[in-house]
Amino acid sequence: HAFPQIMPEENNKVHGAVSYTASGSFNPALPGDAVTVHALLDTDETSEAEQVLNIIDQTQAEHPEDSIAILLRSKIHVADIVRRLKQRGSKFQAVEIDKLSQRPVVRDLLALSCALLHPGDRISWLAILRAPWCGLTLADLHALVGGDQKAAVYDQLIKSDSFNSLSEDGVARLARVQPILKTVLAQRGRQGLRDWIESAWIALGGPACLGSDTDKEDAEVFLQLLETLDAVGKAVGPEVLHDKVAELFALPDVHADSRLQIMTMHKAKGLEFDTVILPGLSRTTRGDESRLLYWLQRTSETGEPELVFGPIKSAREKENRTAEYIKQLDKEKSMYEYGRLLYVAATRARQRLHLLGQVKTDSETGEVKVPANTTLLYQFWPVVGDVYEVQAALSSGNEPEQPEPEEPPVVTNKLRRLESDWTCPPPPSGVLAMPEVEEEREFNLEFDWAGESARLVGTVVHRILEQLTRQADAPEKDDELTRLNVIGRQMLVQEGLPRDQVDAAASKVESALNNMLQDERGRWILSSAHQDARSEYALTFSTGEQTHHMIIDRTFIDEEGVRWIIDYKTGSHAGGGLDEFLDREQDRYQDQLENYANAMSRMDDRPVRLGLYFPLLQGWREWSFED
């Protein structure tokens, strides 16, 4: 009979009041008390957490197959309970309680992603060298980068004399990790974001550092996020990654069943459990902070929606009456919302309900102090206040039992890491592993004579062209082209190109995109109307002795049934003799494209034509492939 006293008697839309409607129990009453109030006087969160664990133990002993739910008003109220459950090895499912960003495996993957996306991100680079797959000591980290606080960590890592001041263990660890990072950075922009980061993580030994199957599932959630972000087609930088990861929650323990769950009261809507425990009812929430503008949406007498605004008080005003009215109305709405939240939480219990809240007593009179009106316990106070008074009377004259002081945790500096001579284990017997791997070096071939700026121009152009092939129609309006050019500039910056080179590089990206979109052949290459069209198509094939990895920029089947294999070349040519230049480029890349054709011809027997397209020049060369 508590909720008729807690909830309002009448509905009031303006005040957010929803009246109580009586209901009857479907199941017959069980013997014993269905609702237990655990009146905690002058205690703390630690004692309350212990009481919760006692309730769990008793319930599981008497009804081992029953489901138990710990429902909380806020995620921040669960820390002590979760810590104690983990300390004693209890299995439980925490539903959207732990932030994914707090899981060690995700922190390491996030640091790896940010470091690879932005070579100048010093904190992330230090984090991946400290992560378990490398595990440098603090002394070795300082010896490596402490001499120059402004230099990029990667630059320090590849210096010829960088290992001189390291310990023997540090040298061994970096000798394994350095070539992996160097290879991974060389592949930047040539793979999908997820594939790029995941392959780096595996090569470094990330999966070997996982402590449980839940860690594996958390890593998969992060990698799926990378895949989702990459599919949007916009540049992904460290800031975007941090923001998106902060929105995700860690998965529940995959080895725990549903007999013990922890979640917020809001999350429990629509669910039922045999026993429900509501701890932290005396916890307050953060007070209402002053806002520049208070506003209220309401319905006028004529039924039309209207807005009421109340600005923050000026320096000359004591208060703004409109703003104060809206603030008071918000407080009343919150009080009614607290009552409805309690109703949702309490009615999740099929058999037993446990209420826990702490209150203080007056040190002189021993009287029980009424809890703050921003607590859920305050809502229950008209019903449970007498229970606390009785408990206070029983405790009067007796020294309250003090819990045994906890031993302070012993902090150790043990570094969890792989062995310095760790190597990637061999694949299982069911997986074909070739003894040698030969990677197609098309990208390095094209830019072995060019600087970093030219390489990044090629990377950005390739990525934007890949996104354009996913659209139904190529952009035609000026504002769409402008948007692409802005994206290209952002990608150059995020790839780490020095700012004094960005303008020139962005101009080349803009020219390449505009030229290709204005060229009839360029639009034909990008068209999504082709059959079996693919962009940045990754292939692996074996010749018996070697395994070849390659990425084809663009391939499709035209209306005549011919398979086209096309490679973009973002090089430029100044002066005369353009045809001669294009002929030389065809000779230069003929073997490479015919290797692609040889791989594709293993999958179907269509006629194949090869092409080189030069966006900066609107240049084109094509020829037939004869197997």
Tell me the C-alpha distance between 598 and 610, whole Å. Answer: 11
Which residue type sits at 57? D
Percent of the chain with pLDDT over 90: 31
Most confident of 3-7, 149-153, 343-347, 442-446: 343-347
> Element (H or E) spanning 126, and its range?
helix 122-130
Q: What are phi and psi of 133, to 5 degrees?
A: -70, -20
Residue-level pLDDT at 66: 92
> Element (H or E) spanning 260, and its range?
strand 260-264
- Confirm if 125 and 153 have CB atoms less than 8 A apart: yes
What is the domain partition of the chain in residue ranges?
32-97+257-395, 101-246, 437-624
For the chain, the first-to-last Cα distance in angstroms comes to 86
Q: At what angle do helices 499-518 and 452-468 cross, to 10 degrees?
A: 40
Residue-level pLDDT at 444: 41
Residue-level pLDDT at 283: 86
Tell me: pLDDT of 338 over 70: yes
Tell me the C-alpha distance between 195 and 224, whole Å. Answer: 10
Any residues with CB less than 8 A from the CB of 278 and at least 6 apart, and which?
71, 72, 265, 345, 346, 353, 354, 355, 356, 376
Provide DSSP, 537-556.
EEEEEE-SS-EEEEEEEEEE
Any residues with CB less than 8 A from the CB of 259 and at least 6 apart, and which?
60, 65, 66, 67, 68
DSSP 118: -
Write the pLDDT tens digit of every residue in 223-254: 999 988 887 767 788 888 999 998 887 777 76
Strands 547-557 and 563-568, sheet pairing = antiparallel
Give the pLDDT band (50/70/90) at residue 429.
low
> Element (H or E) spanning 263, and its range?
strand 260-264
Residue-level pLDDT at 443: 40
Residue-level pLDDT at 565: 96
Residue-level pLDDT at 405: 56
- Mean of pLDDT values over 255-283: 89
Residue-level pLDDT at 442: 44
Most confident of 142-151, 274-283, 328-337: 274-283
- Confirm if 265 and 277 have CB atoms less than 8 A apart: no
Write the pLDDT tens digit of every residue in 153-198: 888 888 877 788 899 999 999 999 999 999 998 888 777 889 999 9
Give the pLDDT band (50/70/90) at residue 140.
very high
Distance of alpha carbon 471 from its chain centroid, rounded? 27
Tell me the C-alpha distance between 551 and 538, whole Å. Answer: 4
DSSP 26: S
Any residues with CB less than 8 A from the CB of 608 and at least 6 apart, and which?
562, 563, 564, 565, 597, 600, 601, 624, 625
Structure tokens given for 410: 């012993």
Tell me: pLDDT of 82 over 60: yes
Tell me: pLDDT of 412 over 70: no
> How many other CB atoms sit within 10 Å of the CB of residue 60?
16
Instruction: Tally the C-alpha atoms within 13 A of residue 314's C-alpha that lie toward its C-beta.
Output: 2
Residue-level pLDDT at 333: 83
CATH superfamily, region 32-97+257-395: P-loop containing nucleotide triphosphate hydrolases (3.40.50.300)
Q: To the nearest 10°, the Cα dihedral for 255, 260, 263, 269?
A: 110
Question: 187 in helix, strand or coil?
Answer: coil
Which CATH class name applies to 437-624? alpha beta
Output b/e per residue, 146-174; b: 16+ Cβ within 10 A.
Answer: eeeeeebbbeebeeeebbeebeeebebbb
> How many other CB atoms sit within 10 Å of the CB of residue 77?
17
For tokens 């002795």, what's the residue? Answer: 545
Q: What are phi and psi of 472, to 5 degrees?
A: -65, -40
CA angle 152, 157, 162 (to 5 degrees): 115
| pTM > 0.75 | no
Give Cα separations from 578 to 398, 567, 588, 621 (angstroms). Answer: 100, 18, 15, 12
Instruction: Point out which residues pair with 70 in neighbouring strands.
Output: 262, 277
Structure tokens given for 13: 């839309």
> Element (H or E) spanning 305, and its range?
strand 305-311
Tell me: pLDDT of 382 over 70: yes
Tell me: pLDDT of 441 over 80: no
For tokens 């269509």, what's the residue? Answer: 606
Residue-level pLDDT at 52: 92
- Confirm if 594 and 625 have CB atoms less than 8 A apart: yes
Structure tokens given for 311: 């600005």
Tell me the C-alpha distance between 388 and 358, whole Å. Answer: 9
Long-range residue pairs from 381-389, CB within 8 A, at least 24 positions apart, any chain:
382/2, 382/5, 382/6, 383/1, 383/2, 383/5, 383/6, 384/37, 384/39, 384/355, 384/357, 387/37, 387/39, 388/39, 388/41, 388/359
CA angle 579, 585, 590 (to 5 degrees): 125
Residue-level pLDDT at 92: 87
Long-range residue pairs from 365-372, CB within 8 A, at least 24 positions apart, any chain:
366/392, 366/396, 367/392, 368/41, 368/392, 371/282, 372/282, 372/284
Nearest partner of 392 among 366, 418, 431, 429, judged by Cα: 366
Tell me the C-alpha distance between 572 and 617, whole Å. Answer: 7
Nearest partner of 223 among 240, 201, 254, judged by Cα: 201
- Confirm if 232 and 206 have CB atoms less than 8 A apart: no
Q: To the nearest 10°, the Cα dihedral for 319, 325, 331, 336?
A: 170
Residue-level pLDDT at 410: 55
Most confident of 75-79, 114-118, 382-386, 466-470: 114-118
593: exposed, middle or buried (C-beta count within 10 Å: 0-12, 13-18, 19+)? buried
Write the pLDDT tens digit of every residue in 118-131: 888 999 999 999 99
Tell me the C-alpha distance between 46 and 212, whole Å. Answer: 28
Which CATH class name applies to 101-246? mainly alpha
Write the pLDDT tens digit of every residue in 568-587: 999 888 777 899 999 999 99
